[in-house]
Chain A
Amino acid sequence: MERRWVVRAVAGAALLAVPLVLPQFYLLLSVEILIMGLFAIGFNVLMGYAGMVSFGHAAFFGVGAYTCGLLLKKTEAPFVVAFLAAPVVAVVVAAVIGYFCVRLTRIYFSMLTLAFSQIVWATAHKWYSLTGGDNGLVGVPVPPWLIGPRTFYGFVAGVSLIVVAVLWRIMEAPFGRTLLAIRENAERAEFVGINVKRTQLTAFALSGAVSGLAGGMFALFTRGAFPEYAFWTKSAEVLIMTLLGGPYVFLGPALGAGILIVLNSVVTSYTEYWPLVLGIILLALIYVFPGGVTRIFLGWRGAGGPAGASRA
């Protein structure tokens, strides 16, 4: 057991260190993959574990980005405070939104998350005096020690590693198992004494916090925050990443993010018709590889059903 963890940690660190020797273009691409991968893993706490499909997770990503960006640009807040405020504000927003959303199920849940996220988007889009409106919030200052691309990559990799490790621990703990039980059969979970709504709300808030943290890092990466970060197409993007990688494997969504971002980078260097290519990939994913690409590598564990396939 102990040795397995040492091996995993070393392998993970080695993998994360690879981009440091790559040319700057690939280094920056890796930063994007790590941040979006973290967003997708956070999103998947709800989708894969709790079985709740949010159409509005871009709201928390956007809230995180604007929180971090606004604090750095418009206040004297120290970097650490501004950065940590992103997940803190996101968790508060997610708790409020989640309070209403977890009462609903299935498509109604999805629609309500969509409605709330569009409220966040519209606010960011129209509140010119605070957010810069559709021009976005630009010129967010980043502390001097974080400016170099390699340093920034190291920062993002370190933060992601810590967050993913903590999240993994939580999902392997009884909390994660409880979520799976609710996903499989909420009624039965209720019968054995689980407070279903409260557990779902906790998952919602946790998921929002990780998404907000990812958003905060993205604001540092792009030195700005833009309304598109909270638009529904961003929510669709993270959903696609998750499905592409496979929602029933802990790290699957991050793999999906990697595949999507690399593909996007390759395809857009040849043609402007990336959506067309992505659409065809999605259709192939549905008709040919249901369950995400991790299923191809790991085999058809868990007999095709969601149950039992959540271990990476």
Chain B
Amino acid sequence: MPDLSAFADPGFLAVQCLNGLTQAMFLFLIASGLSLIFGVLGVLNFAHGSLYMLGAYLSYTIASWFVGSPATFWVALVLGSIGVALVGGIIESVFLRPVYRREELEQLLVTYALVLIISDLVKLAWGAENRSGSRPALLAGSVDIAGRDFPTYNLFVLAVGPLVALGLWLLLRRTQFGRLVRAAANDREMVGVVGVNVKGLFTGVFMLGAWLGGLGGGLAAPIGAIFPGMDVEIIVESFIVVVVGGMGSLGGTLLGALIIGQLNAFGILFFPRFAIVFVYVLMAVVLVIRPWGLLGRPVTRG
């Protein structure tokens, strides 16, 4: 029987809800990059979880270089995510560019091969044991939420998510780069025909997507364990978010992340064991009823 007594405690409910929101922010960061890349390049990037993992490891290592300095965390976060963006640029221009004209399946296989390669390279570079980063001094404490402790760091993550969403929205709506990205998402060939540097655009979009994944990893470093295998764990969850929200839709990705976050946080209260099944059931139901996702548009492109 589900234990309902927890619902009598408003503090517990609030914290559980905030935990779900925190998880949603991570999912949003990773899935928004995945969704952006799919929307523009038409490639389902299996390696996006690997970029997230790489972001966590890079930030962890960079932080270890500057131990003691108060700016450690921030420098590591910025440099780590930029490093992942650079790796993304290499992945796009070296590995993906030759296969854009091939079948979807072959593009997918390239990114899957990269999952395997990156996972072993990470093991070679950092070893197989778990690691964990440390929170910046400024955010190390916790705050009182209706009588319960909630980590200050998680509040910070809760602020970063919407900020990134807003930044992305402004980038896509208010800049020339954003206009080109949206145009390419609509009709890739036409963008090339009118003289836009499509190669550069694709590399830029992939780097932006990779940066988002890397940022997610860098932010996750201080609160979860960093371990080989975190890539495979997160990628299917990100797929769920993108599918539920709608592939290529930023608002949809945010909505999907919020739903999955809450479903995880509260599903665990009702059915501790089978909570994990709910998210897959939700994914299946959405695909059956609205294959293009809650906020996506039906795609007829060939």
Contacts and interface: CB of A to CB of B under 8 A. Distances in A.
Q: Do A and B bind each other?
A: yes
Interface of A: 53, 100, 103-104, 106-108, 111-112, 114-116, 118-119, 122-123, 125-128, 232-233, 236, 240, 243, 273, 275-276, 278-280, 282-283, 285-287, 290
Interface in B241-271: 243, 247
Interface string B269-297: 00001101100110110011001100000
Interface of B: 44, 95, 98-99, 102, 104-106, 109-110, 112-117, 119-121, 123-124, 232, 236, 239-240, 243, 247, 273-274, 276-277, 280-281, 283-284, 287-288, 291-292
A17 B105 CA distance: 36
18 contacts: A107-B44, A107-B104, A108-B287, A111-B243, A111-B283, A114-B236, A119-B277, A119-B281, A122-B276, A126-B277, A128-B273, A232-B236, A240-B112, A276-B121, A276-B124, A278-B116, A286-B106, A286-B113
A126 B276 contact: yes
Nearest to B113: A282
Given A104-B287, A119-B277, A273 B120 contact: yes
A279 B291 CA distance: 31
A115 B113 contact: no
Contacts of B281: 115, 119
Contact of A273 (B110, B113, B123, B236): B123
Given A111-B287, A118-B280, 16 more contacts: A108-B292, A112-B287, A114-B239, A116-B280, A122-B277, A126-B273, A273-B120, A275-B117, A276-B120, A276-B121, A278-B113, A279-B114, A283-B117, A286-B99, A286-B110, A290-B102
B274 A122 contact: yes
Contact of B112 (A106, A280, A282, A287): A282
Contacts of A285: 109
B-side interface mostly:
helix
A283 B110 contact: yes
Nearest to B105: A53
A91 B288 CA distance: 20
A233 B231 CA distance: 12
Nearest to B243: A111
Given A115-B283, A273-B120, A236 B104 contact: no
Contact of A100 (B98, B104, B273, B288): B288
Contact of A106 (B104, B106, B109, B236): B104
B114 A119 contact: no
Most-contacted residue by chain B among A107, A125, A285 (CB, 10 A): A107
Contact of A243 (B109, B115, B292): B109
A286 B111 CA distance: 11
A28 B76 CA distance: 50
Contacts of A243: 105, 109
Contacts of B115: 279
A290 to B, nearest CB: 7
B232 A233 contact: yes
Contact of A283 (B44, B104, B113): B113
A126 B236 contact: no
Nearest to A285: B109
Nearest to A280: B117
A279 B276 contact: no
Contacts of B106: 286, 290
Contacts of B283: 111, 115
B115 to A, nearest CB: 8
Contacts of B117: 275-276, 279-280, 283
